[in-house]
Structure 1
Amino acid sequence: MQGTFISFEGVDGVGKTTQVERLRAYVESQGRECVVTREPGGTALGVAIRRMLLHGVDTDNDGDCADIAPRTEALLFAADRAQHVAEVIAPALRRGAVVITDRYLDSSLAYQAGGRELTPAEIRNLSMWATGGLLPKRTYLLDMDPTRSHARLQHAEDRMEAAGDEFQRRTRAAFLDLAQAEPERFRVIDAGPSIDEVWSHIKADFDNVTATDGGVA
């Protein structure tokens, strides 16, 4: 695969969407194809899975959503990811595009192995099988205390966002542990400063990544 695969990670409210769009504009200004996508929900199948994961399933139309068991949740995320890679990510990388995804495998590891207390090995093995072992060349982890990032949210909470402060703290800690374990792939960026300052760190690193392009880990 000749393209460059980039992922953005972090707890909700850290500004991933803003920086993804900054990077998209920068890539396109260089005349390269850029495919921006997200998890869950990067495909038509993924949209349906995303709805279940973030808002639950009202099985009897009474307004109450059934709980999703942790292993079921992990399998749904893996199904979304498998389709995402097959339908969107891998074809774009074969074309030589820059692919930027808002969340990928590491979100499953942080939210489910960290936040939901499944084992990291279980989640990683499932996701690596689902993706055929595909990892990003670079993962930008936008880091912020969840209490601060949560205050930035300007929409109604979904299932993940409403899971509580302790869940969010465990998830942040899990993200940081992942970054420490794979320093060659991750760049941890403080999401607290201005949008422009955060972007300057991403741009400088992205330029280094693409200077030696070959794009996927």
Structure 2
Amino acid sequence: MPAPVSTASALPARALLACSRAYCAAAPRSSDICSSLEEQWAKIVLVIKYLGSKRTLVPLLTKLVEASGASTGLDLFTGTTRVAQAMKTLGMHVTSLDSASYSKVFGDTWIALDGETANHSELVDAISHLNSLTPAAGYFTQSFCIDSRYFQPFNGERVDVVREKIASDYSGTWLEAPLLASLILAADRVDSTTGVQMAYLKNWSHRSKHKLELNDPVLLAGQGLAVQGDAL
């Protein structure tokens, strides 16, 4: 997922985007250069959206955990399970905990599920099937693409049909969590939002123009526990 940044840290990039536009206005014959400049700076402004990510701390936390000699780990307020995943790769038995539903999906996928015993070919086949579905507009498209502009409608239609198929064909199976996790990450790659508040943009982001595609999630060896609830 994208690395963390505050709104303030995005301001220099926005200023550079404005400068590139001013340059283009002064040199209209350099249209190819202008297009490239604006596209690149827009990517910098929009690609990084999340506050509170521990991505940059993971190497240090991993060293501390290794030095402790612990064989079990607990990641409270786990969020995207980034730290819990790092502990699991060390061979620890890990428990992830968060009150958010998306976090439980991530925990079931990367913490609770044992990547060594999971039927990888079955997961790949399911993802291929979901990617091949014919898009169809539904609640998600209407609410998040038409009534608002979080996603472009053509991707909203893909979210609708994939989510419905997961609910109808994979609910209650071991595939449900990794398929939902793959859908969440796929949507994250093509949204048109900025900032931790996830406000949608006036103009479509560059990434929102790409087609939503589910990827095969890389599962981790070992079995853990994912809990949805209050840390207290």
Whether these two folds match at TM > 0.5 is: no
Q: Give the greater-gyration-radius structure (CA).
A: 2
TM-score w.r.t. the length of structure 1 is: 0.28
Higher RCO (CA 8 Å, separation ≥ 6 residues): 1
Structure having the higher strand fraction is 1
Taking structure 2 as the reference length, the TM-score comes to 0.26
